[in-house]
Amino acid sequence: MTDTKNAVRKAKSLLYGCLHTENEKAVAEMLRTMHDDDIKEVVKKDTIIKLFSSMQVCALGGKHIQKKNDMHRISQNARTLARLVIKASEHLPMVSLNKLLCKDNFDLVVNSTLSLSHNSVTRC
C-alpha cells in the first residue's frame, strides 16, 4: 500500500511540476489548430490538459525546428484526453482530468478508455 501511495505522490508531483510552467501563448497556438467543437471547449477548460499541451508545445522548441505535423500531433493528444473527460463525465458529471487521476476513479478511467477504444474500432 505504501508503494502505491508513493507512486501516486510521485506521479502527481511530476504533473504538478508542470502547473507552474504553463505557457499561455503555447496553448493558444495549439488551440488555433483545433476545430471549434465540444472537444475543444473541454480542452480550453481543463487545467491539466492545457498544462500537458503547453509542456509538449514548449518541448518542440522554436518554429524553425518544428516538423510539419508536430502541432497537429499535440492537438490530437489534447483532444484524446478531452474525449476521455467527456466519456467519464457521462458517469461522473463535472469531472476534470485532475479528478480522474484520483485512485477512486481508476475503474471509471479504465471503463471510459475501453468504451472509447471500442468506438474507434467500430468506426474503422
Residues 6+ apart with CB under 8 A from 23: 54, 57, 58
Give the cell for residue 62. Answer: 522554436
pLDDT digits (tens, 9 = 90+) for 55-81: 888 878 777 777 878 899 999 999 999
pLDDT digits (tens, 9 = 90+) for 98-121: 999 999 999 999 999 999 998 766
CA–CA dist 8, 83 (Å, integer): 23
Res. 7 pLDDT band, cuts 50 70 90: confident
Q: What is the pTM of this model?
A: 0.77
3-class DSSP state for residue 94? coil
Q: Where are the domains of the chain?
A: 2-123
Residue 48 in this model has a pLDDT that exceeds 80? yes
